[in-house]
Structure 1
Amino acid sequence: MVKTTAQRLGILLALAVLMAATRTHHSLLHHFDALPDASWGIFFLAGFWLRGAGRWAFPLLMAEAVLVDYLVINGQGIDFWSHYCVSVAYWFLIPSYFSLWLGGSWLAKHQAGLRLQTLAMAAVALAVSWAACYLVSNGSFYWLSNSVPLPRSFAAWFANLGDWYLPFLQTTALYVGVGAVLHVLAVQLTRTLKHAGQPNLPH
């Protein structure tokens, strides 16, 4: 689907609103209240829908994620840099989220339209980019954050990976699945409107 600048801005705004709403509930405290944090799914979908706009769209979404975290943490009366989840590892969220963006962007470039082949490619792209995001974000926090007690070990890290593996995977897959349904509906609607607008040719 070829998108105009206005359409890209509309998509970015919708994703930004969803992130603001759900990341506020998540609030970096590993709670899955109300709606779970949609950030991971948002960066994958943004990479797919906004491919080619990464130079401005990704930094804007990244800046929003940091701003929401800052406002939520300070709203709790806690200094941002003294929060449990904020350390030098926090900056590894940039490559973590960018891996999801790349996964969505790769899918947008190679997808074959509304076919089962595209569904299979989407599953692979999401699985690979999500795994990269999870390993970088979780690994950087475990090995670099002062919040993790010493001594550290690979055995303990693998246990930590297992603790959060399914919740984060299920949440990301849920939002990407909803995005996929909306994408299919939008494509079908576009096709229907385009067909309805064509003049009836004589047989």
Structure 2
Amino acid sequence: MATTTTRRLAIFLGLALVMGVTRFHPSLLHHALWDASWGVFFLAGFWLRGQGRWAFPLLMVEAVLVDYLVITGQGIDFWSHYCVSPAYWFLVPSYGALWLGGSWLAKRQQGLSLATLGLAVAALLVAEGLCYLVSNGSFYWISASVPAPRSVAAWFANLGDWYLPFLTGTAAYVALGAVLHALATQLSRASQRGGHTLH
């Protein structure tokens, strides 16, 4: 999606605000349904494709900073929190999968069409699935918060317990972003048509 620098910055700030507001709550550190982080990274990959060198790292810094503020704000040492372990850093490739999914969609989308909708659903399912697999798998297998003994069967049970809420929450934010994108596209077209009629 080609945008001016001003529009790119506005999109980035809007997404950062949404993630900050929805992530800034203690329960959201356990990936509660309405944390917008996953949806934000997917939408950022779509709207800010080609800007990954600065936008992705800044969103990652924001995510970690919010987690740090929430955890330490409860009087807990950041490194001793249940959710923070060596597996915590696997959020980088997890969120990277979402970004790449959105970027892949942006490169192949065909405007407001059923074909684009089908691509969007496929891209979101694959990207969200990879994100979930990496984040959940790393936490299960690496984090000391998960008691031993561990087993593949128990991991698959854990995957099944949390997958649908993660998918539903992410899809809700991406759907909202898609509606906003469609409205902005239609308004832009209407504005361009109006400009042509004035000449």
Runs of 4 or more, structure 1, over 3 Å off, are 29-32
Q: Output the CA distance in 2 between the equivalents of 1:163 and 1:188.
A: 40
Q: Output the CA distance in 1 between the equivalents of 2:197 and 2:76.
A: 63
CA contact (8 A) 1:62 1:94 kept: yes
Q: Which residue of 2 aligns with 1:59?
A: 57
Q: How does 1:1-203 map to 2 (within 5 A)?
A: 1-25=1-25, 26-32=27-33, 36-199=34-197
Q: CA deviation at 1:149?
A: 0.3
Equivalent position SS for 2:196? coil
Q: Output the CA distance in 2 between the equivalents of 1:189 and 1:52.
A: 24
Equivalent position SS for 2:97? helix
Q: What is the root-mean-square deviation in Å for CA atoms of aligned residues? A: 1.1
CA change 1:101–1:31 in 2 (3 A) is closer
Q: Output the CA distance in 1 between the equivalents of 2:40 and 2:81.
A: 24
Q: CA deviation at 1:88?
A: 0.1
Q: Output the CA distance in 2 between the equivalents of 1:74 and 1:175.
A: 28
CA contact (8 A) 1:27 1:73 kept: no
Q: Which runs of 5+ in 2 are unaligned?
A: none
Identity of matched residues, %: 70
Q: CA deviation at 1:29?
A: 3.2
Amino acid in structure 2 at the alignment position of 1:108: A
CA change 1:111–1:173 in 2 (3 A) is same
CA contact (8 A) 1:130 1:169 kept: yes
TM-score (normalizing by structure 1): 0.95
